[in-house]
Amino acid sequence: MPAVHVLNGPNLNLLGAREPQTYGTATLADIEADLRAACKMRGVDLVFRQSNNEGELVTWIQEAGAQGAPVILNAGAYTHTSIALHDAIRGAKARVIEVHLSNVHAREAFRHHSTISAVAEGVILGFGPRSYALALEAFYPANIEKKKR
Ligand code: DQA
């Protein structure tokens, strides 16, 4: 069965309560439930994880790369600082779409740089929880390519 790993970084466990004016009111469990339904419809196995720990995200990226499973990655603030995540994606040859709930380019300057974008297949940001759904659609289109799997 084709699979997708959705990996969430620091503070995303607080979604729903955390700065709702920026991130909205959906919880991470709500996002997971949406993706689970979208994956089921596509016949895709979903691994959905969150960690506040950079090293754990590195390990999970390596794991997805070894399994050949594409990754939807919201690395939270590590997006802007982490050479380790950049190296993990490159080293594990992981296929990654970088996602963000908010439009980081409309926010503080320190959010404008990503260490991940250069090693990602693409970047989707600014659409709230739909950023994740759009990334899933990019990896596994619901209609066009379904018959090929
Ligand atoms: C975020 C944007 C990051 O700048 C921030 O540190 C986050 C969430 C987003 O999804 O909009 O934790 O990745």
Residues with CB under 6 A from ligand 1: 11, 74, 76-77, 79, 100-102, 104, 111
At 143, the pLDDT band (50, 70, 90 cuts) reads confident
Best substitution site from 102, 103, 105, 113 to test ligand 1's pocket, by max atoms within 8 Å of Cβ? 102
pLDDT above 70 covers a percentage of the chain that reads: 96
The ligand 1 atom nearest the CA atom of 100: 10
Look at residues 127, 104, 126, 131 and name the one whose alpha carbon lies nearest to residue 115. Answer: 104
- C-beta of residue 79 within 8 angstroms of C-beta of residue 102: no
Is the pLDDT at 148 greater than 80, yes or no?
Answer: no
Q: How confident is the model at residue 144 (pLDDT cuts 50, 70, 90)?
A: low
Give the global pTM.
0.95
Sign of CA dihedral 28, 129, 73, 48: positive
105 is catalytic: no
Percent of the chain with pLDDT over 90: 95
Residue 67 pLDDT class (50, 70, 90 cuts): very high
Instruction: Decide if pLDDT at 146 tops 60.
Output: no
The yes-or-no answer on residue 80 being catalytic is no
Annotated active-site residue in 78, 86, 100, 140: 100
**Which ligand 1 atom sits closest to the C-alpha of 102?**
11
Helix 54-67 crosses helix 83-91 at what angle (to 10 degrees)? 10
Q: Which domains does the chain have, with CATH numbers?
A: 3-139 (3.40.50.9100)
Q: What is the C-alpha end-to-end distance of the chain, expressed in Å?
A: 9
- Residue 140 CA to residue 3 CA, distance in Å, equals 10
CA 149 – CA 44 distance, rounded (Å)? 10
Helices (H), the chain: 20-23, 28-42, 54-67, 83-91, 130-139
In this prediction, residue 73 carries a pLDDT of 98
Pocket probe for ligand 1: among 21, 101, 130, 134, the residue whose CB has the most ligand atoms within 8 Å is 101
Residues near 110 by Cβ (< 8 Å), separated by ≥ 6? 80
Q: Which residue lies with its CA nearest to atom 1 of ligand 1? A: 76
Q: pLDDT tens, 72-99?
A: 999 999 999 999 999 999 999 999 999 9
| Helix (H/G/I), strand (E/B), else coil: 123 | strand
Contact between 88 and 58 (Cβ < 8 Å): yes
